[in-house]
Chain A
Amino acid sequence: MRGAGFVLDLGRCVGCGACVLGCRLSNAWPAGVSWRRIVPFNLDRRGGGPTYHLSLSCHHCERPACVNACPAGAYTKRSDGVVVLNEERCIGCRYCEMACPFDAPSYDGAAGVMTKCHLCSERIDSRLQPACVAACPTEALTFRGRNGVEREKEPVPGFSDPAGCAPSLDFIPPRRAKRSHLYERLREVLKR
């Protein structure tokens, strides 16, 4: 049984950014903090292929670098898999920021503590969706609760796990026409 995490449909995401703003509004990001971002792939449409978009946040890894890195034990991984940061315990050493290969922890300069996506843990505990998922207008971004879905086993071009953290992020690869032609080609490129 896999833990909680996001599922991104690469065939549906057009990089519109509603997820970013939905998170920002719901979680009232302090100045300078960012919990979610869009990374475009092949923005220049090389090879006649499409752009596809990665909407990325904390991946609530199975072996989170942040949990291990924190000297003050401010991070915990819940039984459902969500990695939560307790800002009250944080001493602001920013070590987790150096350790996380996915840029998930974000420093709040005014408060002197780190902040991070918590999969809207209060919302999901109340049977609501995380704010980003609720905001996505094309239903590209969904999330996985207590029951896991079958994971896309091969690596998604452009996304890697350099630190062996086992991110709990699943992708649904693009299925149609041009988007999947590029996708296949990218897998070839990766294999070489």
Chain B
Amino acid sequence: MTATRPDWSRGFHETTLVCFTAAALSGAGVAAARPLAWATGLRADDPGRGAAASVLTLICAGLLISIGHLGRPSRMMRALLRTGKNALGTEVTFAALTAAAALLLVCVPLRAAALQLLWVLASLAGLGLLASLAWVYWLPGQIAWKGVPALSVIPLGLLVGYVVHTATAFPRARPGMWGALILAALDALAWAARCARVEAGAGRGEAAHPSAMAQRRWIYVLRFLLVSLPPLAVVLFDAGLAGLVPMALGVIVDRYAFYSLAIKQTTESEVARIESKMTSDE
């Protein structure tokens, strides 16, 4: 008797999630990374309207897209019902808070001190959003997600955010390049850990999307090139906004990798694991 497979293993249906999380982590990262940028040279009185606008746009776009993921979009407000106890609700709440702060930063003319305070609040909200994104995917049955892979949204988001601030700041008030290098290194380490986790997990669970899993090495390399190299270009060669284009693609590839290389520990995978142990014993 063959098993009847439930729907999740047939076809890639997480496209909207890819787009939503790409936008959300980027927006969150821009907000969260501002204090880091200040610490490395960004002028505190730079209002950063451009950066705030990007936070607002990214998070609003992300939220809109996420509604498109829902089977029942009209019921979207129920996602907030268990905020605090539930990762998804908490994530949406932090997204709303970050977007609200960004809206104020864009629209309301404020003095320097108030501006800084608002940015601090926005960055806390953004950090909360990044942490929630990590929490959501910390699922014990998901071999390729729990632990470092789930947490990796944080260094990725911060890296993206930092580069946005670098690209959008006034030329002589830019944050220092070593901030970008450190964040890029952290992100690259996290990415390496994720790739290692997929390699280790491949035999222990069931790949959600076997066709993507078969191409995983291309995905490993592509993501690295698109995410880790552009920050250097932006910082070293003043590539500016142009450097953000490959990074944007890189974030999307990263999110695609996250869902397409998911590995779930299922009863089927356990059965297969034990059966292959029996074969190797023969």
Contacts and interface: CB of A to CB of B under 8 A. Distances in A.
Q: Classify A-B as touching or not with yes or no (CB < 8 A).
A: yes
Interface of A: 15-17, 20, 32-34, 36-42, 44, 46-47, 53-54, 56, 65, 68-73, 89-95, 97-103, 106-109, 111-114, 157-160, 162-164, 186, 189-190, 192
Contacts of B268: 39
Contact of B139 (A91, A106, A163, A192): A163
Contacts of A111: 71
A15 B1 contact: yes
B80 to A, nearest CB: 7
B79 A101 contact: no
A39 B81 contact: no
Overall SS of chain A's interface? loop
Contact of B8 (A71, A101, A103, A112): A103
A90 B139 contact: no
Contact of B88 (A47, A71, A101, A160): A71
Instruction: Give the interface residue-count category, chain B.
Output: 35 or more
Contacts of B266: 101-103
Given A97-B8, A162-B141, 14 more contacts: A41-B275, A42-B275, A71-B89, A72-B79, A73-B78, A98-B8, A99-B141, A101-B265, A102-B267, A111-B71, A112-B71, A158-B271, A160-B270, A162-B140
Given A38-B3, A47-B282, A101 B140 contact: yes
B141 A34 contact: no
A38 B265 CA distance: 17
A189 B281 contact: yes
Contacts of B281: 47, 189
B206 to A, nearest CB: 9
Contacts, number: 161
B261 to A, nearest CB: 14
Given A91-B78, A99-B139, A158-B267, A39 B71 contact: no
Interface in B85-124: 86-89, 92
B141 to A, nearest CB: 3
18 contacts: A20-B4, A37-B4, A39-B3, A42-B278, A44-B275, A47-B278, A54-B267, A65-B139, A90-B72, A91-B75, A91-B78, A91-B79, A93-B79, A94-B8, A94-B71, A98-B8, A98-B137, A186-B274
Contacts of B137: 98
B172 interface: no
Contacts of B89: 71
Given A93-B88, A98-B142, A101-B265, A106 B71 contact: no
A107 B5 CA distance: 12
B78 A107 contact: no
B259 to A, nearest CB: 9
Of the listed residues A17, A32, A65, A73, the one surrounded by the most CB atoms of chain B closer than 10 A to its CB is A73
B7 A32 contact: yes
B175 to A, nearest CB: 36
Contacts of A93: 69-71, 79, 88
Contacts of A114: 71
A159 B72 contact: no
Nearest to B66: A93
Contact of A73 (B81, B139, B141, B271): B81
Interface string B1-17: 11111111000000000
Contact of A157 (B4, B69, B264, B274): B274
Contact of B70 (A39, A46, A69, A91): A91
Contacts of B71: 90-94, 107-109, 111-114
Contacts of A72: 75, 78-79, 81-82
A36 B4 CA distance: 8
Contacts of A90: 71-72, 75
Of the listed residues B2, B82, B268, B275, the one surrounded by the most CB atoms of chain A closer than 10 A to its CB is B275
